[in-house]
Structure 1
Amino acid sequence: MTALDPRGVSLAGTAPGTHTTVEVDPITLRVIGGALNSIAKEMAQILYRMAYSSLIRESEDLGAGIFDVNGRELCESDSTPMHCGSIPAYIRGIDRRLAGTYRPGDVVLHNHPYHGAAHSPDYGIVIPIFFGGVHVGFAGCTGHVSDVGGNFPGLCMDVVDVWAEGKLLDSAKIYDGGVRNDALIQHVLDNVRTPEQNLGDLEALIACARLGERRFTELLERYGLDVVMSAADRWMDYSEEMLRRRIRQVPDGEYAAPVSYLDDDGKNRDVPLAVAVTVRVEGDEVVVDLTGSNPQVPTAFNVPFEGSVLPTVASAIRTLLLDEALTEEFVPQNDGCFRPAKAYAPEGTLFNPDFPASCFARFSQINRVFDSINLALADVLPDRAVAGSSAALCAIAYSGLAPDGQSYWVYIEINEGSYGGRNGKDGLDCVDSLMANTRNNPIEEVELNHAMLAERYELRDEPPAPGRWRGGVGSVRQWRMLTDTFMGTEADNRTDPPRGLAGGHDGLPGSFVRNAGTDREEVLYSKVTQERCADGDTLEIRLPSGGGYGDPFERDPAAVLDDVLDEYLSADDARTHYGVVVDVAAGTVDREASTRLRAAAR
């Protein structure tokens, strides 16, 4: 990235297109708004139902939407915020090379992390949309493919630079004016370990974008370019104003989260990496400043600024201030939500690395930024902030040579963490948190297709973090390998556990253990590169549990009893952490004894 304005950079698009602005009546406005949302959702359905790799097909690690000629987002699918929020940056990266050359029938493949991509495994497909012979917009989608070549299968951590990550595809026209470039596509497939999966995913991405192109063109044919784009402008302005209205209700000021620390960079062991987040609120705008965060590192554990940091900041501010559970009005997700939220990160740091540093493994860092934004604003948003969440996407790539000896099998799994408690609600258990929003992969699907046996998959045994509203519980999963298997990870165990809020207790860190409970037990680092698990070895993965919110001694005794009966807590836990005396056999609370115990503790 070039030098950044210290006031911050926004993800919002540039000026509107060339349409003529017209008045749109309220009914037509709502119809067009509904149509845009439906287009994005249908695009995502096509993608995840057609995809070959389990990460897209089962976990829905994807994004799709429609964008105007300047890359402003008109609508996005209800999938991973990172994928949707980064597509405008993909378009800007593609435009720098192809602007002025687009033709009907073009299909562009892009994954360059220094030119807009979220990271190189997220293939982006962008199709220019033409109407009446004029370029009016784009249909775009992204999905995480199983392998992009490079040093190691699936995931890479200890790599020297961005070229070592895999095949970089910078604004490559795989269809030019409707003519398919088979030689280029074959070249891409010849440089990955999972050519069949990648080809299936590529065709699914193309089908997704083509559907968006067709549906948006149909909308233009029905209502006309001026009406549709004027309605889209109105919806974007409406979303912007709704978010700015909420920002104006936050007192102006500078709010800093406690500095948190990532485990390490995957190579320099036990050297923690600082994440410093300061949120500045001024009028109806927010700037998230990452000054003070760690310098960039010599591994893949850096973050693309435009493709990953900016979408995270926009998503965090929108999520906190326009929480759907607390906002009566419908507010669509579009370019308007990006405009008031800006970000700044000094060059040469973890969140704005200098080319050609690798930035393949960037998700635990951006989840920590999201978590820190939330914690920074906790005092001024007590009804919306959440105690510390797991905030560490746990991605693991399992791989081995396929029986044919000509390719690899690669399985990438996203393990589930948890949310912290919030004012009025307990934290969510065993779910991807913050920027992830991916689903778990069914055990049956994994066992059917790979030499792995699930011996355990459940909530962690340890009790949740105490609070008036308890923290969520992370998952624990144990795999037994049925063949020699290589493993690469880009997780973070949270050596500094998720923070409690308002008197709630901190959560729990996670762990990776090979052959747990045996005389060969070995604790692994959260980030490994091509670690070998032999046939018969087991791997136990524990994800962090979220922090609690509020004084545990103010928790409703009935809720404590429910947790005991549901085996989240023991009777001793209830007495020690909540001041509640439970008769397990009778399934009741001794309210008099509990009142005395709580009074004595106070």
Structure 2
Amino acid sequence: MTVKNIDPITLQVISGALNTIADEMAHVLYRMSFSSIIRESQDIGAGLFDTQFNTLTESEGSPLHIGSIPGYLRGIDETLQGGVWNEGDVVIHNHPYFGASHSPDLCIVIPIFYKGVLVGFSANTAHHVDIGAATPGLIIDIPDVFAEGMLFAGIKLFDAGVRNEGIWQFISHNSRVSKQLKDDIDAQIASARLGVKRFTELLDRYGQDTVLDSAAELISYTEGVMRKRISEIPDGEYFADGFLDDDGKNREVRLPIKVCVRVKGDSIEVDLTGSADQVETAFNVPFEGSTKPACYCAFRAILMDTYTAEYKMPPNEGSFKPINVIAPKGSIFNPTFPAAAEARFTQCNRVIDLIIKALAPVIPEKVTAGNSASISFAAYSGLKPNGDYWVFLEVNEGAYGGRPFSDGPDSIDNLMANTRNNPIEDLGMNLPVICDRYELRDDVMPGAGLHRGGIGVVKSQRLLSEGTLTHESERHFDTPWGVLGGTEGVTGKAEVYHYGSDTEATAIPSKVSSLKLSANQGMTYYSPCGGGYGDPLKRKPEQVFEDVLDEFISIKHAFETYGVVITPDHSLDLEATLTLRAQLTTQ
């Protein structure tokens, strides 16, 4: 596509129109859906793409979907049913070895034809409750990709406008919640069709050449800004490493993650060489659909943060172009077929966290201390009295590390997610599940610093009838780090409890598969707390005092870690605090 100069007013109008189309597509998708993971949590992504599969615009959906759909499109290009796009086609695709982020994220793609010529694609992804995998909702301990459920590779739900009844009937008989699944797919189709309609209207109004040339110029502009931001980082190789708890089966085997960030001029390379080999469970990460987007997400967050930027950048392919990602074939971040690769949430977050850690020495003003970077994803399921399945997916909050100018946010979604929580009232009205506890952790102290780490969540969900739990999380062992003198945060944990019983809660690993629960049993999840940023002795005594009054930290912790003296009657003693801090500073 040749980039031509477009007058700035037209360019800005078309940029706004493209963004609006993507946001409207996302709005239609989550408002029309029936499952809570889409309707409430908004675990979706939507956008428009050119014929070379470049992102023209994308919605502000889950960061897990940022930059992922081009991978789907390239996979569809290899597998498309019939090999030819027709007007009226609707394609479904989720194969992790053909570009998908992971199998539950079904992608719907509709080609955009204008005056008989293919000019682009309207597409979206959404995380579905159940696609007929080995265990309801989520899967971990399975032998290969074929146990992940239905795999679609370039399949046409509609072929030139004709509905493929065989595929719809197949879906009807291969999901535990098939009606909900089909209704949510219909919502995706409506969203993608709206994208086709709105983009065609834009072409009618401004002309095909003007719109496509503007889109190309916007991509070039975003790329230029990203390259400028990268060029401000000193050239060099920056390293960080951590480890994952286990693969969901081999409990005592820790899995290393190694990150090297190479900065050269206005480009970046993320090298994951040295990370764990692929594992025998589903705890692997599809390279095209998840590993690469995780790295894109990291640098978009660090270098193009919408809150600190002077202006919002057009969300398009330009922000991805300066970033190259390396992960050796056969590693956990680039598995070899037919390894399973569904449980990829936490690894993506840990890569982002380690990219942040690696760059902390050279751009401390743009990074955080260690974050929870875990993503607790739980699937509760059971049978209704009539024998039908119910399945509920829930994403639990975590916490960020302390930041250059403020504390880490408490009980917030993880780095590569922004899903909303499910209203517990809605949950109790529609499913045999009740929330017994939902608050900030009070059993530990977050990382201390000039800016303290965020406090994680504690949440207890109980089944009212027998069922099963599958839970994917991380960081029961690898503690979020402090930075620039801040102290470490706190690891997470999970327990199974029995409501109304004197039996003590039982600790469970960070990942469990199809754990059977009886009526009135449930899981309590404690998310990690973030690390501290900067010297705790430089934190304002008044802020420490407020944390004590809020019961975020104890009087003893304020004294020993922050050097702040609070009297037994809960008064701040500034004079004694200055004396104590002077003593601690000279030690």
Q: CA deviation at 1:485?
A: 1.3
Hey, what's the Cα distance between the residues in 1 that align with 2:504 and 2:418? 35
Contact 1:469-1:550 within 8 A present in 2 as well: yes
Choose from 528, 531, 536 the match for 1:547: 531
Choose from 550, 561, 572 the match for 1:577: 561
Hey, what's the Cα distance between the residues in 2 that align with 1:150 and 1:480? 24
Choose from 503, 511, 514 the match for 2:485: 503
For residues 339-379 of structure 1, the C-alpha deviation after alignment (integer angstroms, 9 at most, x for no partner) is 00110000111000000000010010010000000000001
For residues 122-271 of structure 1, the aligned pairs below 5 Å read: 122-257=105-240, 259-271=241-253
Contact 1:65-1:84 within 8 A present in 2 as well: no
Q: CA 1:243–1:22 in 2, change beyond 3 Å: closer, same or farther? A: closer
In structure 2, what residue type is equivalent to 1:429? D
In structure 2, what residue type is equivalent to 1:127? I
In structure 2, what residue type is equivalent to 1:153? P
Residues 1:601 and 2:584 aligned together: yes
Choose from 532, 538, 541 the match for 2:516: 532
Hey, what's the Cα distance between the residues in 2 that align with 1:584 and 1:420? 30
Hey, what's the Cα distance between the residues in 2 that align with 1:241 and 1:133? 34
Secondary structure of the residue that 2:182 maps to in structure 1? helix
Contact 1:154-1:397 within 8 A present in 2 as well: yes
Q: CA deviation at 1:236?
A: 0.5
Identity of aligned residues (%): 50
Secondary structure of the residue that 2:513 maps to in structure 1? coil
Aligned to 2:401: 420
Residues 1:430 and 2:411 aligned together: yes
Q: CA deviation at 1:521?
A: 2.4
Residues 1:87 and 2:87 aligned together: no
Q: CA deviation at 1:562?
A: 1.6
In structure 1, what residue type is equivalent to 2:518? A
Contact 1:22-1:226 within 8 A present in 2 as well: no
Hey, what's the Cα distance between the residues in 1 that align with 2:3 and 2:139? 48
Hey, what's the Cα distance between the residues in 2 that align with 1:121 and 1:84? 16
Q: CA deviation at 1:435?
A: 0.7
Hey, what's the Cα distance between the residues in 2 that align with 1:494 and 1:305? 25
Structure 1 unaligned spans of 5+: 1-15
Hey, what's the Cα distance between the residues in 1 that align with 2:168 and 2:345? 28
Aligned to 1:3: none
Hey, what's the Cα distance between the residues in 2 that align with 1:293 and 1:458? 35
Q: CA 1:236–1:524 in 2, change beyond 3 Å: closer, same or farther? A: same
Q: CA 1:536–1:95 in 2, change beyond 3 Å: closer, same or farther? A: same
Hey, what's the Cα distance between the residues in 1 that align with 2:568 and 2:104? 51
In structure 1, what residue type is equivalent to 2:546? D
Aligned to 2:436: 455
Hey, what's the Cα distance between the residues in 2 that align with 1:22 and 1:371? 39
Contact 2:4-2:217 within 8 A present in 1 as well: no
Residues 1:29 and 2:11 aligned together: yes
In structure 2, what residue type is equivalent to 1:435? M
Secondary structure of the residue that 1:397 maps to in structure 2? strand
For residues 207-264 of structure 1, the C-alpha deviation after alignment (integer angstroms, 9 at most, x for no partner) is 111111111110000001100011111111010000100111111100001x211110
Aligned to 1:277: 259
Residues 1:42 and 2:24 aligned together: yes
In structure 2, what residue type is equivalent to 1:267? K
Aligned to 1:4: none
Q: CA deviation at 1:463?
A: 2.5
Hey, what's the Cα distance between the residues in 2 that align with 1:66 and 1:408? 35
Secondary structure of the residue that 2:120 maps to in structure 1? strand
Choose from 470, 479, 502 the match for 2:452: 470
For residues 54-65 of structure 1, the aligned pairs below 5 Å read: 54-65=36-47
Choose from 355, 362, 375 the match for 1:393: 375
Hey, what's the Cα distance between the residues in 1 that align with 2:568 and 2:318? 53
Secondary structure of the residue that 1:235 maps to in structure 2? helix
Secondary structure of the residue that 1:294 maps to in structure 2? coil
Hey, what's the Cα distance between the residues in 2 that align with 1:558 and 1:530? 48
For residues 295-314 of structure 1, the aligned pairs below 5 Å read: 295-314=277-296
Aligned to 2:78: 96
Q: CA deviation at 1:494?
A: 3.4
Q: CA deviation at 1:592?
A: 1.0
Secondary structure of the residue that 2:579 maps to in structure 1? helix
Q: CA deviation at 1:319?
A: 1.1
Q: How well do the aligned residues superpose, as a CA RMSD in angstroms? A: 1.3
Residues 1:349 and 2:331 aligned together: yes
Contact 1:552-1:577 within 8 A present in 2 as well: yes
Secondary structure of the residue that 1:549 maps to in structure 2? coil
Secondary structure of the residue that 1:183 maps to in structure 2? helix
Residues 1:315 and 2:300 aligned together: no
Q: CA 1:584–1:80 in 2, change beyond 3 Å: closer, same or farther? A: farther
For residues 546-577 of structure 1, the C-alpha deviation after alignment (integer angstroms, 9 at most, x for no partner) is 11111111101121122122221222221111
Aligned to 1:68: 50
Q: CA deviation at 1:388?
A: 0.7
Hey, what's the Cα distance between the residues in 2 that align with 1:265 and 1:391? 17
Hey, what's the Cα distance between the residues in 2 that align with 1:502 and 1:441? 36
Hey, what's the Cα distance between the residues in 2 that align with 1:475 and 1:584? 28
Aligned to 1:7: none
Choose from 420, 427, 438 the match for 1:439: 420
Q: CA deviation at 1:326?
A: 2.7
Structure 2 unaligned spans of 5+: none
Secondary structure of the residue that 2:365 maps to in structure 1? coil
Secondary structure of the residue that 2:512 maps to in structure 1? coil
Hey, what's the Cα distance between the residues in 2 that align with 1:218 and 1:486? 48
Hey, what's the Cα distance between the residues in 2 that align with 1:125 and 1:61? 14
Q: CA deviation at 1:324?
A: 2.2
Aligned to 1:327: 309
Q: CA 1:174–1:584 in 2, change beyond 3 Å: closer, same or farther? A: farther
Q: CA deviation at 1:186?
A: 1.5
Q: CA 1:78–1:541 in 2, change beyond 3 Å: closer, same or farther? A: same
Q: CA 1:21–1:365 in 2, change beyond 3 Å: closer, same or farther? A: closer
Q: CA deviation at 1:323?
A: 1.9
Secondary structure of the residue that 1:582 maps to in structure 2? coil
Contact 2:66-2:297 within 8 A present in 1 as well: no
In structure 2, what residue type is equivalent to 1:541? Y
Q: CA deviation at 1:21?
A: 4.9
Secondary structure of the residue that 2:110 maps to in structure 1? strand
Deviates further, 341-350 or 514-523: 514-523
Secondary structure of the residue that 1:233 maps to in structure 2? helix
Hey, what's the Cα distance between the residues in 1 that align with 2:506 and 2:551? 29
Choose from 554, 561, 566 the match for 2:550: 566
Contact 1:401-1:408 within 8 A present in 2 as well: yes
Q: CA deviation at 1:445?
A: 1.3
Q: How many residues align?
A: 581
Deviates further, 563-572 or 312-321: 563-572
Secondary structure of the residue that 2:543 maps to in structure 1? helix
